[in-house]
A and B are shown apart, each in its own frame.
Chain A
Amino acid sequence: GDSVTQMEGPVTLSEEAFLTINCTYTATGYPSLFWYVQYPGEGLQLLLKATKADDKGSNKGFEATYRKETTSFHLEKGSVQVSDSAVYFCALSRGANSKLTFGKGITLSVRP
């Protein structure tokens, strides 16, 4: 079945540091890929998405590129802020209105 693997956490960075969070997936066909973010005490918010190979999703300074050859969708940000502290989830779906399969999430803490 489908699965998503995220790097182990938690991750602690200083403000303005470079961020990379690794995500790889296992799925047949061509799933859509997502990064969701969960701030403390809140629900999930979509951060960015990509629907086909080589697509780059971007939002709020975050980027991720859909790499079919390595089945990866790594999240990057050039300069993190304290307000980026949250739990980040990589996920996939098989298309519109299909269930999401999530990775285990990784907690990011950014210190001033």
Chain B
Amino acid sequence: GEEVAQTPKHLVRGEGQKAKLYCAPIKGHSYVFWYQQVLKNEFKFLISFQNENVFDETGMPKERFSAKCLPNSPCSLEIQATKLEDSAVYFCASSQTLAGGLEQYFGPGTRLTVT
């Protein structure tokens, strides 16, 4: 598609439950990025993929967070045993390779609320 799609739009989980978020990048884009927006404004990079391979995971919490991008499937970000502090909006972005890869195109986000 021509836009980055994210599902669900909203997700509510009780503390300790699992949360799974999905992202479909723009068709033809090889790179996928996940960002976490907390406190309304602050963005934190989590992880990026080049096709199905992890490209940069320097922002990924060591525990409870995992992500995948499998062929012919939406990418996913999973949080095991959610905590209150995981409440945030999670944005996915995609980019082309090489010369076109400077611009990242963002999806509308998934708002995760942990109660």
Contacts and interface: CB of A to CB of B under 8 A. Distances in A.
Given A96-B97, A97-B55, A42 B50 contact: no
Contacts of B55: 97
Interface in A59-102: 87, 89, 93, 95-102
Interface residues of B, number: 31
A104 B48 CA distance: 21
A67 to B, nearest CB: 19
A43 B107 contact: yes
Interface of B: 4, 30-31, 33, 35, 41-43, 45, 48, 50, 55-56, 58-59, 91, 93, 95, 97-109
Interface of A: 32, 36, 42-46, 49, 51, 87, 89, 93, 95-102, 104-105, 107
